[in-house]
């Protein structure tokens, strides 16, 4: 166990060095080590103690480099957003958000090939409204995913700040987010005495890292610092894209089926726990279908439905959306082992039924 704690302490120092230079990524190193020491449900609590302490110590070390004009527009909008995000986590699947975050990170790939002159030309200050929006989005994403990591590193790199100003301002902006996450974890009971002790060890390592990184930053010029930051975002994006894609495919697998009808063949893709079906037929093109209850049918089409009930065992109804055509309805009429498909188009202006098949 002593070896694991020693590895955690050294790993904390190194990971927060990397985090300061690249703009994030400490959790990628620390989470596997923390999983060896405490239950995975307590890992966010211990890790957040470390990130909170890291931000606090960086503020003390680099306080004269903090850009307060960014801080005063970023923080007030991020705090309510992190609470909103934490509340909505039970309604929003974080995996899908992580997928789009991955695409956003990978979009920084061209920045790796910019020359020094072109990179400097793209750097500029943002209006206050943009600062407020960035703060809100940072808090919202942090509340749902538990971390903002490298996502908003591009904002700091594009703002034209020096490397010391980026480290200091990031710390000032994020310390409140870490603080509120700690409160949420405690309220949810996602902590333990052992997790607290482990978190304190991570915190001690983060303090040493913050006080020693000030000797590392001068060894990097501004251009190299930015290239490392963009490189870390792109690398993280590909890793996140791979992991989130696997999770989506695993939990939301779709089914593909072929249907042969008289005179035509179509392919259908459907998702579990979803009412929508995507259909493609060679003769008709692409269409989106949604099941419809008989009570939701237009008045005159409902009369047609009622007249068919006596002729068939059951009737399944779908509303069809096909690009370039009017919305229409499909009746799947079953009797014994036979199925008859009928298509009807209803126009509101003449309130009449137009059979398509």
User: For 148-177, how does the pLDDT look when each residue is reduced to its tens digit (9 = 90+)?
Assistant: 666 677 777 777 788 888 888 888 888 888
Low-confidence spans in the chain with pLDDT less than 70? 1, 25, 28, 40, 86, 89-95, 98, 123, 143-151, 247-287, 322-326, 346-357
End of a domain among 219, 251, 283?
A: 251
pTM: predicted TM-score of the whole model, two decimal places: 0.59
Q: Which domain holds residue 237?
A: 2-251
Nearest to 277 by CA among 299, 259, 294: 259
Spatial strand order of the sheet with 264-270 comes to 255-261, 264-270, 277-281, 285-291, 314-321, 328-335, 338-347, 352-355
End of a domain among 226, 251, 276?
A: 251
Q: How many domains does the chain have?
A: 2
Cα angle: 130, vertex 105, 163; to 5 degrees: 65
CB-count exposure of residue 115 (10 Å: 0-12, 13-18, 19+): exposed
State the pLDDT at residue 262: 44
End of a domain among 200, 227, 251?
A: 251
Model pLDDT for residues 278-321, shown as the tens digit of each residue: 555 545 556 677 788 888 788 778 888 888 988 898 898 888 87
Query: Are residue 233 and residue 259 in the same domain, yes or no?
Result: no
> Cα(157)–Cα(95) distance, rounded to whole angstroms?
27
Query: Are residue 183 and residue 279 in the same domain, yes or no?
Result: no
* Exposure string over 262-298, b if 16+ CB within 10 A, otherwise e: eeeebebeeeeeeeebebebeeeeebebeebeeeebe
Longest distance between any two alpha carbons in the chain, whole Å: 85
> Cα(59)–Cα(328) distance, rounded to whole angstroms?
62
Bridge-based pairing of strands 352-355 and 277-281 is unpaired
Query: Are residue 287 and residue 204 in the same domain, yes or no?
Result: no
Query: Are residue 269 and residue 227 in the same domain, yes or no?
Result: no
State the pLDDT at residue 11: 87
């Amino acid at each position: 166990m002593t070896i694991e704690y020693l590895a955690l302490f050294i790993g904390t120092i190194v990971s927060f060095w990397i985090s300061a230079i690249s703009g994030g990524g400490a959790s990628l190193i620390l989470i596997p080590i923390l999983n060896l020491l405490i239950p995975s449900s307590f890992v966010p609590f211990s890790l957040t103690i470390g990130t909170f302490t890291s931000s606090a110590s960086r503020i003390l070390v680099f306080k004269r480099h903090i850009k307060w004009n960014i801080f005063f527009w970023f923080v007030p909008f991020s705090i309510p957003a992190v609470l909103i995000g934490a509340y909505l986590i039970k309604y929003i699947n974080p995996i899908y958000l992580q997928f789009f975050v991955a695409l956003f990170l990978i979009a920084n790939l061209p920045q790796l090939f910019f020359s020094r002159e072109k990179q400097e030309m793209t750097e500029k200050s943002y209006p206050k409204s943009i600062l407020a929006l960035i703060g809100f989005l940072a808090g919202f994403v942090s509340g749902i995913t538990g971390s903002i990591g490298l996502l908003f590193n591009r904002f700091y790199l594009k703002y034209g700040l020096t490397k010391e100003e980026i480290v200091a301002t990031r710390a000032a902006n994020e310390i409140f987010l870490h603080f509120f996450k700690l409160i949420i974890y405690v309220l949810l009971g996602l902590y333990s005495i052992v997790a607290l002790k482990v978190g304190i060890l991570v915190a001690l390592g983060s303090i040493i890292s913050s006080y020693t990184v000030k000797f590392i930053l001068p060894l990097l010029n501004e251009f190299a610092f930015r290239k490392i930051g963009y490189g870390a975002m792109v690398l993280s994006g590909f890793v996140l894209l791979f992991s989130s894609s696997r999770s989506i495919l695993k939990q939301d697998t779709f089914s593909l089926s072929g249907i042969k009808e008289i005179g035509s063949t179509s392919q259908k893709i459907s998702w579990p726990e979803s009412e929508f079906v995507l259909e493609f037929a060679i003769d008709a093109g692409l269409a989106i279908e949604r099941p419809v209850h008989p009570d939701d049918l237009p008045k005159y089409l409902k009369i047609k439905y009622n007249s068919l009930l006596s002729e068939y065992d059951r009737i399944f109804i779908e509303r069809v959306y096909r690009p370039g055509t009017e919305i229409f309805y499909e009746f799947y009429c079953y009797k014994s082992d036979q199925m008859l498909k009928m298509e009807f188009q209803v126009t509101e202006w003449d309130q009449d039924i137009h059979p398509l098949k």
